[in-house]
Amino acid sequence: MTEEIGKAFQDKTKYQREPYSQGHLEWQQRIEKLKIQMVDKSVSLPEPDFTDGKPVFQVISRRRSRREFARKPVPLPFVSQVLWAASGLSFRKGDFYLKTAPSAGALYPVETYLSAQLVDGLESGLYRYQAENHSLRMKYAGNFGPALASSALNQDFLSQAGFVLLFTAVFTKGCWKYGDRAFRYIYLDAGHAAQNAALAAVSCGLICCPVAAFFDDEINSILDLNPAREGILYLMAFGFPA
């Protein structure tokens, strides 16, 4: 197998603005103003409900990509349900655990971040989901919806959503075992998690829309990622229907 072909594919297929374009400079200024102060605090989430919800085939039949969001706060328990469905733990014994979505070799290289924009009971900001104790670690306060929309080729519905999930990949978690073929598995893993999140949204009465068109470097910068180790894969916007 050609050495480093996976990383080359990841790099060569990303969108990026011209580095000295007016749009890029304006984006940099906007992000610098928004990320004035780093926050590092843990936020407990309501326990996910494993017993309620609609029958799975009914939920599947109702899943659609919808982009018109009402300016109505999303209850924190709904956010909790969606996060758990996407990336939560479903089994644990000692140090061994399984998550709700399948992953090649049970390595789970996909990480889940949250941009809370209009969530009842949760301060607006950027968070990392911590599956091991079903909580959120807040990194920055503020409404990052407009910045995400700008970095996603001006798809403005991202700024109108109640919250946005951002799926990233820690490439080394898969590559140590599978080499460059891990990139295939990583993309599949993200798709599994996204579909779980979409079905959980339907069950909660929410709508959502997945987004794969974005400037990779800008989203990575918003999340403070080192793209040599971890990079953005996928966005999903959630909220109540308009």
Is 153 part of any domain?
Answer: yes
Return the pLDDT at 34.
83
1: Cβ contacts below 8 Å, ≥ 6 apart: 179, 180, 181
Taking the CB of residue 112, how many other CB atoms lie within 10 A of it? 25
Based on the structure, what is the number of domains in the chain?
Answer: 1
CATH assignment of the domain containing 76: 3.40.109.10
With respect to residue 17, please indicate whether it lies within any of the assigned structural domains.
no
What pLDDT is stored for residue 157 in this prediction?
Answer: 98
Residues 6+ apart with CB under 8 A from 210: 65, 194, 198, 234, 235, 236
Domain assignment of residue 173, yes or no: yes
pLDDT of residue 240: 98
Kindly report the pTM of this predicted structure: 0.92
Question: According to the model, what pLDDT value does residue 51 have?
Answer: 81
- Chain-centre distance for alpha carbon 65: 16
Note whether residue 18 is domain-resident: no
Q: How far, in Å, CA of 4 to CA of 2, rounded? A: 6
Q: What is the pLDDT of residue 238?
A: 98
Tell me what pLDDT residue 87 has: 96
Closest by Cα among 181, 193, 187 to 13: 187
Specify the pLDDT at position 149: 97
DSSP string for 115-169: EESSEETS-SEEEEEEGGGTEEEEEEES--HHHHHHHTTT-THHHHSSEEEEEEE
Note whether residue 12 is domain-resident: no
Residue 207 backbone phi and psi in degrees, to 5 = -115, 165
In a domain, residue 32? The reply is no
**Per-residue pLDDT tens digits of the chain, which is 242 residues long:** 566 898 899 999 999 887 667 777 788 888 888 887 777 889 999 999 888 777 899 999 999 999 999 999 999 999 999 999 999 999 998 889 999 999 999 999 999 999 999 999 999 999 999 999 999 999 999 999 999 999 999 999 999 999 999 999 999 999 999 999 999 999 999 999 999 999 999 999 999 999 999 999 999 999 999 998 999 999 999 999 99
**3-class secondary structure, 31:** helix
Residue 2 lies in a domain: no
The answer as to whether 31 is a domain residue is: no
Q: Using N-to-C axis directions, what is the helix angle for 182-203 and 5-12, rounded to 10°?
A: 50
Range of the domain at 194: 39-239
